[in-house]
Amino acid sequence: DSGVTQTPKHLITATGQRVTLRCSPRSGDLSVYWYQQSLDQGLQFLIQYYNGEERAKGNILERFSAQQFPDLHSELNLSSLELGDSALYFCASSVDGDYTDTQYFGPGTRLTVL
């Protein structure tokens, strides 16, 4: 158990819909990262937050957005869903977001878009 929690574990929805994935970082970690894992693209970095502020952006689509709240939990919002958005979405956290920090991954949310 990494100490990072993600809900829900599974999510099945239809194209065009909007979903919210939630992540609670490890106690004391200020930085949260979101990754997408699909069979063809592998693990892709989406976005990073540090203490409530966006710090780095990766391959995140405009239809996706995220935020980190004052209690440090984070949400990833996916809208206008397409079949190709079906993937595992992981949240990771680290102490202060430095690139040498160890990132601890949550168990992931499996999103299926039908």
Partner 1 sequence: GQQLNQSPQSMFIQEGEDVSMNCTSSSIFNTWLWYKQDPGEGPVLLIALYKAGELTSNGRLTAQFGITRKDSFLNISASIPSDVGIYFCAGPKGAGSYQLTFGKGTKLSVIP
| Residues near partner 1, by CB under 8 A | 2, 4, 31, 33, 42-45, 48, 55-56, 58, 90, 92, 97-100, 102-108
Tell me how far apart the alpha carbons of residues 114 and 108 are, in angstroms, rounded to a whole number.
19
Q: Which is nearer to partner 1, 2 or 80 (CB)?
A: 2
Question: Least distance (Å) from partner 1 to the CB of residue 16?
Answer: 28
Q: Which is nearer to partner 1, 1 or 71 (CB)?
A: 1
Sheet containing strand 19-24, edge to edge, reads 5-7, 19-24, 74-78, 64-68
Neighbouring residues of 62: CB distance < 8 A, sequence distance ≥ 6: none
Q: Which is nearer to partner 1, 22 or 79 (CB)?
A: 22
